[in-house]
Amino acid sequence: MPTIQTHPFGSTGHLSSRIIFGSFAVKDAHPDQAAKALELLYSYGINHIDTAPGYGDAELRVGEWMEHHRSDFFLATKIDVSTYDQAKTQLERSLNRLRVDAVDLLQLHNLTDETKREFVMAEGGALDYLIEAKAKGLTRFIGITGHGFQAPQRHLETLQRQAFDSVLAPCNYLLMQNQAYADAFGRLLQHCRLNGLPLQTIKSAARRKYPGRRWSHATWYEPLSDPKAIGLAVKWVLGIPDLFVVSTGDISVLPHILSAAAEFRESPADQDMNLLASEQSMEPLFT
């Protein structure tokens, strides 16, 4: 079985698989189901896991893996609270659930709301604790993540105020057809390249928001489910040099993402992507 390409994860010294396992996919998984997911990650050479305290039981499932396989993975989790004390309590809980003494990357989760950002970055805010945690060796690196249309621009603003080691933002074909978003994302990517920061992406295989109240997958949006469609979507993002793709948070989609990434050689043509968007009735998640 072909393995997935690796690429330097910015200036961290880690050679990361270009697909990062999004552990939201195992938030409700039975341990046996999670064990099968781990086998799949190994078979494709995935060496990087992204999790968060708000992902249900994901940290617990990943913790079961870390007990025996810690050295095989670059491990990232997140902080989604605003104050120093809250962040300290949250990381202590995450380390316990993950069964580790430290993580490789600790990220401020969804730092795109301007008001929340001010609380996080103020004296006594969560950022103060992340800096302290890094100094104490509880994490090797600190980063920022973001959702929504404003994520690239908000990240650029944040990076002017504080140095971070990694960045995460949405990226998919349909979203990047919006010129304003594409321009902001391009500026963010350029900043990351110049400063040795890895740029992780989410929502590569998003199809649209659910047209009704019934959800067909674990994610809040409807992902693509056809293997060929998933393959085109994932390969398109991988076609942008230096990007990393966090896998979709649904365990049924995971095998198709990994298979597509292992087959990746070049970006699909725009005409193929336009046809995909039409055939799959794709709609932007963010405007």
- Which among 147, 141, 167 has a CA at the least distance from the CA of 219? 147
Q: Flag whether pLDDT at 27 surpasses 80.
A: yes
d(CA 49, CA 69): 12
| Mean pLDDT confidence for 30-54 | 95
The answer for residues whose C-beta is within 8 angstroms of residue 213's C-beta and 6 or more apart is none
What pLDDT is stored for residue 214 in this prediction?
77
Is the pTM of the predicted complex or chain greater than 0.75? yes
- Other C-beta atoms lying within 10 Å of the C-beta of residue 281: 10
pLDDT in tens, 135-191: 999 999 999 999 999 999 999 999 999 999 999 999 999 999 999 999 999 999 999
Query: What is the percentage of the chain residues whose pLDDT exceeds 70?
Result: 100
What pLDDT is stored for residue 37 in this prediction?
95
Amino acid in position 226: D
pLDDT band per the 50, 70, 90 thresholds, residue 213: confident
Residue 49, CA atoms < 13 Å, CB-side half-sphere: 28
- Of the CATH numbers 1.10.150.110, 3.20.20.100, 3.40.190.10, 3.60.15.10, which one belongs to the domain with range 6-279? 3.20.20.100
Looking at residue 4, the DSSP 8-state letter turns out to be P
Cα separations (Å) of 202 from 83, 233, 271? 26, 12, 23
Residue 16, CA atoms < 13 Å, CB-side half-sphere: 29
The answer for residues whose C-beta is within 8 angstroms of residue 196's C-beta and 6 or more apart is 10, 11
Weakest-pLDDT range from 32-36, 93-97, 131-135: 32-36
What pLDDT is stored for residue 192 in this prediction?
98
d(CA 182, CA 34): 36
Q: Flag whether pLDDT at 1 surpasses 80.
A: no
The owner of tokens 């009704």 is 212
| Mean pLDDT confidence for 121-125 | 97
CB 6 within 8 A of CB 15: yes
Looking at residue 249, the DSSP 8-state letter turns out to be S
Report residue 138 as tokens: 């509880």
d(CA 146, CA 149): 9
What pLDDT is stored for residue 212 in this prediction?
80
Q: Flag whether pLDDT at 267 surpasses 90.
A: yes
What pLDDT is stored for residue 216 in this prediction?
87
What pLDDT is stored for residue 142 in this prediction?
98
Mean pLDDT of the chain: 96
Greatest Cα-to-Cα distance within the chain, rounded to the nearest angstrom:
52
Q: Flag whether pLDDT at 7 surpasses 80.
A: yes
pLDDT band per the 50, 70, 90 thresholds, residue 68: very high
d(CA 264, CA 18): 11
- Which among 43, 5, 23, 169 has a CA at the least distance from the CA of 103? 23
Q: Where are the alpha helices (DSSP H) in the chain?
A: 31-44, 58-69, 84-98, 114-121, 126-135, 151-161, 179-195, 227-238, 254-263, 270-279
d(CA 73, CA 60): 16
The domain spans of the chain are 6-279
pLDDT band per the 50, 70, 90 thresholds, residue 215: confident
What is the CA 236 to chain-centroid distance, rounded?
16
Q: Flag whether pLDDT at 2 surpasses 90.
A: no
